[in-house]
Structure formats: C-alpha cells, structure tokens
Amino acid sequence: MTLQPVPELQHRTVLLEEAVEALAIEGERADGVYLDGTFGRGGHSRAILAKLGPRGRLIAFDKDPLAIATAQQIADPRFEIVHDSFATLDEALAARGIAQVDGVLMDLGISSPQVDDAARGFSFRLDGPLDMRMDTTRGVSAADWLATADEQQIAKVIRDYGEERFALQIAKTIVARRAVEPISSTRQLAALVAQAVKTREKGKDPATRTFQAVRIFVNQELEELEIGLEKAFRQMAQHGRLVVISFHSLEDRIVKQFMASKAHAPQPDRRLPIRAVDLPRPAGRLLGRVKPSDTEVAGNPRARSAVMRSVERLEAAGAQP
C-alpha cells in the first residue's frame, strides 16, 4: 500500500508548551540528548529543537511512513528520525553510542491526519480500506486479522482493549458476516458493530470502542508502551525526565502505575535490622498530572481526553537495578 501525503489534513499538537516545559530543557541540560518517542507531524520535536543548545541532540521515532517523510524535511544537524517504535529506543541509542538521555517525550495514540485520512482505515466516519496499521510497510492489517481470528479472540480484544460490554455479540456478528463476504472496509465494520450494539451512550457512535480496540491490538500499542516506558527510564540520566501524554484510560493507567512504581521505593521486611540510611530510595519523583486548558479544548476538541504525566529520575542511569 502506497500512501500519499494529504496536505489539507492538519494536526494540532496537544499540550505543546506544557510537555516541552516539563522536559526542563535549560542550562547545561540544553546540550543534552532528548527523545521524541512519537514524532507525528513534528510539533513537539520542533519545539524541543527550539530549546536545545548547539550541542544538544534530538532523536525522534515514528512508525508512520508519512511522519518519516515529514521529519526528513527538518534540516537540522541536531535532529535525527528513526523509522521504528519507541519500544526499540535502547537499540537505537546503542547503535549511536549513546549511554543515557536527558529527557523522553511520548505523545500516544493517533494523530488527526491519520484519523482524517480515509485511506488509513482508522475512522468509522470515513469509508476506506480496513487497514489501521501505523506502519503500512509491515504487519497485519485489521481486515486480515478479522478474516482469520476466531470468535473468542475477537471478543477478547474488543472487550479488553475497547472496554466494550457487547464484545461477544460484535464478535459473533463479524464471524457470521465474514462467512458471507470479506470485511474489507471501515463502513462494513462500523455497520456490523451498529447491528450488534443495541444501546450506547448518548452522543457516542456504537463503533467507537471496537475501532479503538482493533487499532490498539493491530499496532500492539499497550505492549509497546509498557516496554518503551521501562526502557526510557532505564536510559535516563540523573534528573532526566520522562513525559507522557495519553488519550484514553488504558494508556493512562499503564503510565500512572509505571511512574508511581518508580516514585516509591520497595519496602524491606520490617523485622530486618536495617538502618534508615540504608533503606531503599525511590528511583524517581512524580512531577504531577496536567490536563489541557479550556481554551485549548475549545480550539481543539480532540484534546479533551488528554492527560500528561511526568516523572524525574533521581539517580543516574545504571545507579539502581
């Protein structure tokens, strides 16, 4: 599948100033190494570059070929784009001889251009091929997966990743329909879900949860998030910061629990004779939770569900297991 850029599709970067401010790129840290785990259309990357010093370095990651094409237009020797998931960041850093980084930003989910381009298959409101892959050069499309997965697997994905209470009914409807004809378009899948879901919250399309679930599964988003968080924190220099923007509860729960685990030291057995000075110390410090302002949401309704969380590493990378 060959994708062509769609110039009229615009992306408004959510929490742009807040995220870059949370990285604390100032003083000596301005000449550090930073990672943008999800380049998208480059809003955060360009803002980070504007803060970097002359010896600073920014390495961005993205799986989307169109994001890579956009990134390649940035003519800045301090910047480099990697066509891969942020879950591979340790390999990318090792290949470049980089031992630690000063900050990592992850802006999760999908971008407006991806949703608004019917050819990508992410939207139930636009008719297009049922693809849903972030990286159209590899992996299995949503159509191919739905054509081969069994009923129980489809139901489990829709229930677990979409938090959909009608998951089993939807799975049964999909399996019954594919026996008659291939399910190859977004309009077909949306119609099948609407047929299976009898009630839904006011103002919410019946297909919302199913499309979210299939997209997350096809792209292994939650698995990559868990891997990427751990690798990012492990590579962090002392006082380095990890900043993550998520857009739905499943992502935010993973981020919240991960950061909380770094901000709380493991507690030894109280019966052991351990001095206070020898007690384990937390590896990180929570920096708080930020939501978009009313003004930002008014100008960009898709920002409404965004949540930004940050954690600072208290010890240098390698100082603690």
Per the annotation, binding residues for S-adenosyl-L-methionine are 42-44, 62, 86, 107, 114
Helices (H), 15-162: 16-22, 43-51, 65-71, 89-95, 112-116, 142-148, 151-162
Look at residue 277 and give its three-state secondary structure: helix
Instruction: Give exposure, 240-278, as e/b (b: 16+ Cβ within 10 Å).
Output: bbbbbbbbbebbbebbbebbebbbeeeeeeeeeeeeeee
Structure tokens at 110: 């999908």
Q: How far apart are the first and last CA of the chain?
A: 43
Binding residues: 42-44, 62, 86, 107, 114
* Number of Cα atoms under 13 Å in the Cβ half of residue 266: 4
Residues facing 129 on adjacent strands? 185
Question: Distance of CA 89 to CAs 8, 132, 230, Å?
Answer: 32, 23, 10
Q: Are 236 and 310 in contact (CB under 8 A)?
A: no
184, amino acid identity: S
| Residue with token string 């960041």 | 89
Q: How far apart are CA 182 and CA 195, in angstroms?
A: 17
193, amino acid identity: V
